[in-house]
Structure 1
Amino acid sequence: MSELPELPSRRTFLEQSAAAATFFIVPRFVLGGPGYTAPSDQLVVAGVGVGGKGASDLAMFAKTGKVRIAYLCDVDDRRAAGAVKAYPQAKYYKDWRQLLARESKNFDAVSIATPDHNHANVTLAAMQLGKHVYVQKPLTHDIYEARALTDAARRYKVVTQMGNQGASGDGVRQMQEWFDAGLLGDVHEVYCWTDRPVWPQGIAWPTTPAPVPTGLDWDLWLGTAPARPYVDNLVPFNWRGWWEYGTGALGDMGCHLMEAPFRVLDLGYASAVQASVGSVYVGEFKRGYFPESCPPSSHVTLTFPKTSKTKQEVTVHWMDGGIQPERPDELGANELFGDGGNGTLFIGSKGKMMASTYGADPRLLPTSRTQQANIKQKLARVPGGADGHYAQWVEACLAGYGKKAVSSPFELAGPLTEALLMANLAIRGYDIQRPKAAGNGVEYPGRGIELLWDAQQLRVTNFDEANRFVRREYRAGWQ
């Protein structure tokens, strides 16, 4: 993979998606009705994936008073019911391709909260139509997709924001100020950890198909993923534990926990990664091998090159499944480590600091230093903090591309997501099997090695078998 292939053009997308759709254009004043706000003061939003987190995202946009939720799209009528009730004037679609093809002249921006495996194709299609986009974390399912969307943000010049709201919080800015003031010295090691997953992982794919729930269009839900029968309890949440659809604990919590070290230390693309994975036992002392499922726990070590803010390489540890780093000596015996289940710890040559999920509640260690630190505020805060992440994007969209800053544009969210997905690549590479060269049995060539990464070429240079996870094959018709 010497370079990224040319992204499909807007015309190509429209020609492909409009085969089953007829375009019509409705002036905005017709859509608006009584009390209609002028377009310059109102952002017209379409939601793709409007149950669960998608519904709460739309509610936060609407709360600004500057957004009209005009279109709703979801493959599952049951999950969409709440949004349909909340926005009775919004037109409802099940297929996002028809929504974009038929209504693209009638809205300004798209909020995307589908399962991970369908983030990239919906997002890119919307960007090609000139729509601003807000995409739930993780930005993409694959490393290749993350790089493609990062490049697309520059190409299509639309306002982008990933839904890791901690990026707009006060906590990460406080940590930046402490670090920039020299309170930690040179930071060379960071730990991020979570008690997720809280859904099944490390299990075999069920052998018995289940009836597709009423109201769910299973083929549309699969989207880019291979066709296969529905299994019980996969939706609305347990898809996270399967590699074809989700990105495991890393995808769920990594953007919330690793965003702080990325911002504080100005990290970019990693240069190396290695993983160890928790075992699953089936029966008596027999290890299960379930390559379709994310593991129950993992510890991944990412190496980042020296930055303008560090004096050496930075090692970032990721731990999930309840694994935590050793408690710092500076932390009191009864003091909470992180927030108990999740946290981020910076280790510097002069001191340490930690935070909870989203970079919230930052503390210097020992915690008595937190109150003693008298550092002048230098970084502007986002109005509303983490909750202001939504209004920030709305205001930037209304102002137009390049006019107002956002906290997690794809130019920042893309490299962050790539790091998470590199960690997942190492986890998946850990369980690659191949027959032993001599004798019976199998071997695991990805274990016990460090994967070296060429960020320009998007390739592991010393273990080619792992490169299959850089970019997956989309199902025919969903490229």
Structure 2
Amino acid sequence: MEENSDQKNAQTSRRNFLKTGAVAAAGFMIVPRYVLGGKGFTAPSDRLIIAGIGAGGKGETDIANFYKSGKAEIGYLCDVDDRRAANSVKNFPKAKYYKDWRELFDKEHKHIDAVSVATPDHNHAIITYHAMQLGKHVYVEKPLTHDIWEARMLTEAAKKYKVVTQMGNQGASNDGTRLLSEWYDAGLIGDVHTVYCWTNRPVWPQGISWPGTGATIPKELNWDLWLGTAPYKTYVDKLAPFNWRGWWDYGTGALGDMGCHLIEAPFRALGLQYVKSVQASVGSVYVDEFKKGVFPESCPPSSHVTLTFPKTNKTKGEVALHWMDGGIQPERPDELGPNEKWGGEDGNGTLFIGTKGKMYASTYSTAPTLLPKSLTEQAKAPQKWARVPGGSNGHYTQWVEACLAGYGKKELSSPFEVAGPLTEALLMANLAVRGHDLPGGQFKYEWDNKAMKVSNFNEVNQFVKRNYRNGWELEA
């Protein structure tokens, strides 16, 4: 669908802001207040002033948890959908409300210490990058970004601008992920060579064609702002606030929704970083008895992806990590009885297979268990990792306190230096999933990490960094 003249004029306005507005604002206030006040400086009130961009759904939960820390004030709220923002606006009546994050940054950057980003995936990077340019600490919901290039760019920008960062995979602050690491470091299961991660997601439409008819845009929703970096399309019913996850233009499918929660523990325990190679198989959709349907705009109904990681200083060789979604699960371990429940009973789980044994955990690394289960209570391993007070709920307070302390002063569970490579790994899995539908693309992709591209099938590299809508370009 072609954009009308109003949309084209709006694009010109957006382009001017994104190319010059943030830079101009940075000229007024390029450094956060703790830098202006010297090393270790905190806000005069000893409370962090936060702007919540994406005030409904998970954003509403995030904002509430920052406030519950007792060390943060929600000074500003921003959402393109007044329906989604309603509860946060009610709960924080003193917070000034905006619909456009660019206007918020332009007018209020001098009064903000930190920014929380909880928009759909396709707008994470552009908001986060501009916030960091302004010297603001950032908390970004998972997955960190929509594209591999964006994840690498934000990881490097966090170092450049020296801001405190945290991704919203709150399970990274749970005791379970630390206990799994301690069991592994103690040699209880030997050397891990294979990992399985699986989820019951998607629980939204996937493997379908884009609806042929549009729908009336809800009066509370600014559709153009919601689209942001994504190509312009006519609004379709129920896409917002949730069903966007299954469309490649906006979401990252089951991998984006649950991957950061389930793959975090293997990354921590095994010291994983960047992927060496990846291959995928995907569930088929049939439009009639004989014809397979291929819907390249939509994530598939299920997938099994194998990611190969190079040897690390915590493994003796390469590690194969299997991702399964759409209800697919690995074979039950032999150490379990035929009727014995295990970590996947909630539909999600992570299984480590080592040379001497196995261990698993459920969502957010909860219920860590050695196999056979009788070994769990007997297990003895030195505590090597400090626990985060409050576990997953403490994930928010941890970030607030680190922001108040200043860059580099406090340890975080999921700073961008960790969250970036983790996000890249799950987006590499999506790269293989998307390449599966390209002619001749159904094989193992070799990843050139330095060049940030697949070296043996160039056609799939179009998904490493997507094309942004005119006026919403993001260039580091």
User: What TM-score results when the alignment is normalised by the length of structure 2?
Assistant: 0.91
Structure 2 contact 217–223 (Cα < 8 Å) conserved: yes
User: SS state of the match for residue 343, structure 2?
Assistant: coil
What 5-or-longer segments of structure 2 have no aligned partner?
1-15, 34-41
Closer, same or farther: CA 310–18 of 1 in aligned 2, 3 Å: closer
Q: Which of 268-277 and 334-343 deviates more?
A: 334-343
User: Which aligned pairs between 1:211-250 and structure 2 lie closer than 5 A?
Assistant: 211-250=216-255
CA–CA distance in 2 between the matches of 1:155 and 1:12?
A: 22
User: Which aligned pairs between 1:30-429 and structure 2 lie closer than 5 A?
Assistant: 39=44, 41-340=46-345, 341-429=347-435
Corresponding residue number in structure 1 for 2:447: 453
Shift of 1:17: 5.2
Structure 1 contact 18–101 (Cα < 8 Å) conserved: no
Corresponding residue number in structure 2 for 1:430: 436
* Equivalent in 452, 473, 476 of residue 467 of structure 2: 473
**Alignment RMSD, CA only?**
1.7
Structure 1 contact 113–119 (Cα < 8 Å) conserved: yes
User: SS state of the match for residue 431, structure 1?
Assistant: coil
Shift of 1:286: 1.6
Q: Deviations over 1:289-317 (max 9, x none)?
A: 10000000000000000000000000000
Q: Deviations over 1:64-120 (max 9, x none)?
A: 111100000000011001110000000000000000111000010000000000000
CA–CA distance in 2 between the matches of 1:146 and 1:463?
A: 21
User: What TM-score results when the alignment is normalised by the length of structure 1?
Assistant: 0.91
Structure 1 contact 17–98 (Cα < 8 Å) conserved: no
Structure 2 contact 270–314 (Cα < 8 Å) conserved: yes
User: Which one-letter code corresponds to 1:403 in the other structure?
Assistant: K
What 5-or-longer segments of structure 1 have no aligned partner?
1-10, 29-36, 433-443
Shift of 1:38: 6.1
CA–CA distance in 2 between the matches of 1:63 and 1:349?
A: 44
Shift of 1:377: 1.9
User: SS state of the match for residue 386, structure 1?
Assistant: coil
Structure 2 contact 166–415 (Cα < 8 Å) conserved: yes
Structure 1 contact 18–98 (Cα < 8 Å) conserved: no
Closer, same or farther: CA 334–45 of 1 in aligned 2, 3 Å: same
Shift of 1:374: 1.9
CA–CA distance in 2 between the matches of 1:271 and 1:76?
A: 41
User: SS state of the match for residue 51, structure 1?
Assistant: coil
Shift of 1:336: 2.1
Closer, same or farther: CA 184–252 of 1 in aligned 2, 3 Å: same
Shift of 1:14: 7.6
CA–CA distance in 2 between the matches of 1:305 and 1:382?
A: 30
Corresponding residue number in structure 1 for 2:37: none
Q: Deviations over 1:243-275 (max 9, x none)?
A: 000000000000000000000000010010000
CA–CA distance in 1 between the matches of 2:65 and 2:44?
A: 19
Structure 2 contact 246–253 (Cα < 8 Å) conserved: yes
Q: Deviations over 1:323-352 (max 9, x none)?
A: 000000001222223241110000000010
User: SS state of the match for residue 452, structure 1?
Assistant: strand
CA–CA distance in 1 between the matches of 2:222 and 2:328?
A: 37
Structure 2 contact 209–298 (Cα < 8 Å) conserved: yes
